[in-house]
Amino acid sequence: MRKYFVTGLLILVPLAITLWVLNLIVGTMDQSLLLLPASWRPEAVIGFAIPGLGTILTLLIIFLTGLATRNFIGNRVVALWESALKRIPIFNTIYSSVKQVSDTLFSSSGNAFRKALLVQYPRQGSWTIAFLTGVPGGDVRNHLSGDYVSVYVPTTPNPTSGFFLMVPRADTIELDMNVDEALKYIVSMGVVTPEHFDKSQLIDPKKVHSDHPQ
């Protein structure tokens, strides 16, 4: 009896959580329909709401915004828009901070959250997975002697909260693991383990060359 119940949980719980997350995302993106005049919304046109229609509208807005800002005129409009926003005292502080974070995270040339590391936390000898976010900057750099890196240590099972640390680069171990694998490992609390890759089985080309001299 207990075995069947646990089996049912293992099947239904991941499905229920996945549907809940998708419903939350779609419900949030559907709010973009509020940008339309009331007479244009599905409720007024056909008499009932269509779930997911706002999600399509949101994705379309994102795509068209990216398309429009790829040319010279679009870049000039964005520059003028950001210049105007920077003149608003409180709004400027929030917008600038969020803009810097988003540019770092979503830029194809950036290294933030593109490397998974092993770091010792919360004490020596205790290891956890962290993500490289960059290097210390500003006045912080003046007070750190040596080569340091900035890392984000996510919590389990919710990786959206965590801790920001600056640690010596020599105290970190870069993992041969992509970010998706590392996140699954963290969220599952170590249950879903990435495929093991034994580097000791690799053949050293230099050794092979020395063993077979020409």
pLDDT of amino acid 200: 55
| Per-residue pLDDT, 158 | 79
Query: Considering its fold, how many domains does the chain have in total?
Result: 2
Residues 6 or more apart whose Cβ sits within 8 Å of residue 92: 85, 86
Same domain, 70 and 95: yes
Is 205 inside any structural domain? no
Q: For the residues of 68-96, what is the DSSP string, one character each?
A: HTTSHHHHHHHHHHHHHHTTSHHHHHHHH
Q: Which amino acid is at 103?
A: D
User: Domain for residue 201, yes or no?
Assistant: no
Q: Is 212 inside a domain boundary?
A: no
Query: How far does the chain reach from its first CA to its final CA, in angstroms?
Result: 69
- Predicted TM-score (pTM) of this structure: 0.55
Same-domain status, 14 and 94: yes
Distance CA 64, CA 53 (A): 17
Q: What's the DSSP call for residue 121?
A: -
Can you give the pLDDT at residue 120? 93
Q: What is the DSSP letter of 200?
A: G
What distance in Å separates the CA atoms of residue 187 and residue 129, rounded to the nearest whole number?
Answer: 11
| DSSP 8-state class, residue 134 | E
Torsion of CA 58, 64, 70, 76, to 10 degrees: -90
Q: Do 120 and 98 belong to one domain?
A: no
| Claim to verify: residue 126 and residue 71 sit in the same structural domain | no
CB 129 within 8 A of CB 175: yes
Asked if residue 95 and residue 12 are part of one domain, the reply reads yes
75 with 165, same domain: the answer is: no
**Residues 191, 158: contact at Cβ < 8 Å?**
no
| Residue 160 belongs to some domain of the structure | yes
Q: Which domain holds residue 151?
A: 116-196
**The predicted structure's pLDDT at residue 33:** 83
Q: Which helix H or strand E contains 60, and what residues bound it?
A: helix 53-68
CB atoms within 10 A of CB 148: 19
What single-letter amino acid sits at 140? V
**pLDDT per 10-residue tile (average), the chain, 214 residues:** 81 84 85 83 82 87 83 80 81 76 61 83 92 89 92 86 92 90 86 68 47 47
On whether residue 202 sits in a domain, the answer given is no
Asked if 97 and 20 sit in the same domain, the reply is yes
Whether residues 143 and 170 share a domain: the answer is yes
Residue 111 domain flag:
no
Task: Look at residue 196 in the predicted model and tell me its pLDDT.
Answer: 65
24 and 91 together in one domain: yes
Nearest to 113 by CA among 179, 166, 176, 160: 179
> Is 44 within 8 Å of 37 (Cβ atoms)?
no
